[in-house]
Copies of this chain bind each other. A is one copy, B any other.
Amino acid sequence: MVTYQDIARHAGVSTATVSRVLSGVGGAVSDDLAQRVRDSADALGYRSNRAARALRRNTSDTIALIFPDVEQPFYATIARQVEERAASRGRPTVLCNTDEDLEREQDYIALMIEERVAGVVLAPSSEDVATVFPLLEAGIPVIAVDRRLDGDPVSSILTDNRAGAYELVADLLRHGHRRIAAITGTTVATPSRERLEGCRGAIAEVDGAELIVGEGKLRDAVGVENTMDLAGRLTAELLSSWADPPTALFCGNAVITQGVLRALRASRRRVPRDVAVVGFDDQPMFELLTPPLTVAAQPAEEIGARAADELFEHITDPGHAPAVTILPPELRFRASCGGRHRRRARDPQPEETREGSAGSAPATRQRHQ
């Protein structure tokens, strides 16, 4: 193993000079010496030792991702964006999946502190600020994505969940639906809470409209397959065990949507004839279903890109003030709520797609002092 010692001897300089040249910090070095150091490093086949650097600097270059589950495409996209930006700066990215388990979240946070990571992109499983205390205490910058924390102690970047859910339910109401069931995940975290608020807001504006909330039942959902199954089971219950079953379903995210659609297929129910369906989150295949699904698409790439950019700003400037960024979802009205877009499956027509943005475009940004 080649060390600074070896390079210093080879180039006839001190290890301090080697460090200044190869790490790029600690002051200027004359062009002459710098070149000699680089040549010696190349000649000897030097490879840096990041552990030694991290020990000395008391921080690594690593960026941590703490998410519920990278198997969910929404988080995979964010992970991809952050990782790409970190890599371009020579920073490794660590991946942690919490499955919405608060204890695992705490364990991962402790582990990341032991790793002295340079920063964390976190989709917290609750809005309890205590979650991030250890990180803030350790002086590690945190950006929340998809979710926020009480009082917004750190920057958050998320979709306008209320607006997206409101528009989806409003579309169901416009199509005449009055009994609408919302199937969402754990309501402890931001998305379910805000999306339900959006649903309720739309419902409240129409006389006789009613929202059936299938919340909570998915609280123990772990993993994509399991979540789909639980969503499907809940769907079956809702549609069969009520004297007056809902005529439309609001699905809280893409995984739930898939579980719901699978359950409807299994019980031979047709969309939208038997029951209308709208969903938060889009997926490439949702457009190819018969009928195509009406959804609110989240700007996942932009959330990831902004999270990375903002995290690097906080790393560079620890005094950087936290801000909450709320990005508008893209409403994609297709044919799954019935009426307007309905057509015979055997006679496909080009689908009308009304695309629009909900919420105050392009983004709401709140600065905190």
Residues in A lying within 8 Å of B, measured CB to CB: 1, 47-52, 54-55, 58, 60, 62, 65, 69-71, 73, 76-77, 79-80, 83-84, 87, 90, 92-97, 104, 108, 110-116, 228, 258, 261-262, 265, 268, 270, 283-290, 344-346, 348, 350
Contacts and interface: CB of A to CB of B under 8 A. Distances in A.
Nearest to A348: B268
Contacts of A348: 265, 268, 270
A110 B47 contact: yes
Contacts of A83: 70, 95-97
A367 B365 CA distance: 59
A71 B71 contact: no
Given A47-B114, A49-B114, A289-B285, A108 B94 contact: no
Given A76-B76, A288-B261, A47 B113 contact: yes
12 contacts: A47-B114, A49-B114, A51-B60, A70-B80, A71-B73, A87-B108, A92-B96, A92-B115, A94-B95, A261-B288, A262-B284, A285-B289
A114 B1 CA distance: 11
B51 A55 contact: yes
A97 B80 contact: yes
How many chain copies? 2
Contacts of A290: 289-290, 345
A76 B76 CA distance: 7
A285 B254 CA distance: 11
Contacts of A96: 83, 87, 92-93
A92 B94 contact: yes
Contact of A265 (B104, B258, B288): B288
A93 B92 contact: no
Nearest to A255: B284
B97 A94 contact: no
A80 B97 CA distance: 8
Contact of A48 (B95, B114, B286): B114
A93 B90 contact: no
Contacts of A113: 47
Contacts of A71: 73, 76-77, 80
B258 A285 contact: yes
B284 A116 contact: no
Given A262-B288, A288-B265, A79 B50 contact: no
Nearest to A290: B290
A74 to B, nearest CB: 11
Contacts of A62: 94
B93 A95 contact: yes
A228 B111 CA distance: 38
A168 to B, nearest CB: 19
Interface centre among A93, A96, A258, A268 (most CB of B within 10 A): A93
Contact of A94 (B52, B93, B114): B93
